[in-house]
């Protein structure tokens, strides 16, 4: 069963700041699109969500998703990710 996409997330590589700014201007005021600048420096081994470690199966799925994002960032300089409706935005954090 396919999940309904609630939001599109554009992750723009740090080497493309002009494209990042252009996307932010284009989607300003659109609650269904979030644009972020990739600031990652390396991979983190231990992952915790809500104070608990993530299970091995979830880490595998996350790793596959991260690899696809990495592939898109390398080939295009940005990645587009569909955020399912079932995912919750962390408390106190507003989409950009």
* Domain residue limits, the chain: 5-41+52-84
Q: What is the pLDDT along the chain (96 residues), one digit of tens a residue?
A: 567 889 999 999 999 999 999 999 999 999 999 999 998 765 554 455 555 555 555 555 677 778 999 999 999 999 999 988 875 555 545 554
User: Is 23:12 a contact under the CB 8 Å cutoff?
Assistant: yes
Residue 46 is predicted with a pLDDT of 47
Q: What is the pTM of this model?
A: 0.64
| Start-end of H helices in 1-96 | 17-26, 56-76
Residue 28 is predicted with a pLDDT of 97
For residue 20, give the 3-state DSSP assignment: helix
Residue 85 is predicted with a pLDDT of 83
d(CA 57, CA 85): 21
User: Is 30:23 a contact under the CB 8 Å cutoff?
Assistant: no
Residue 60 is predicted with a pLDDT of 59
């Amino acid at each position: 069963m396919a999940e309904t996409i609630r939001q599109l997330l554009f992750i723009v590589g740090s080497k493309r700041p002009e494209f990042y700014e252009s996307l932010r201007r284009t989607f300003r005021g659109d609650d269904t699109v979030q644009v972020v600048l990739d600031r990652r420096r390396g991979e983190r081994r231990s992952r915790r969500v809500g104070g608990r470690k993530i299970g091995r199966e979830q880490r595998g799925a996350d790793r596959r998703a991260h690899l696809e994002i990495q592939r898109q960032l390398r080939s295009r300089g940005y990645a587009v990710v569909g955020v399912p409706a079932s995912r919750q935005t962390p408390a106190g954090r507003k989409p950009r």
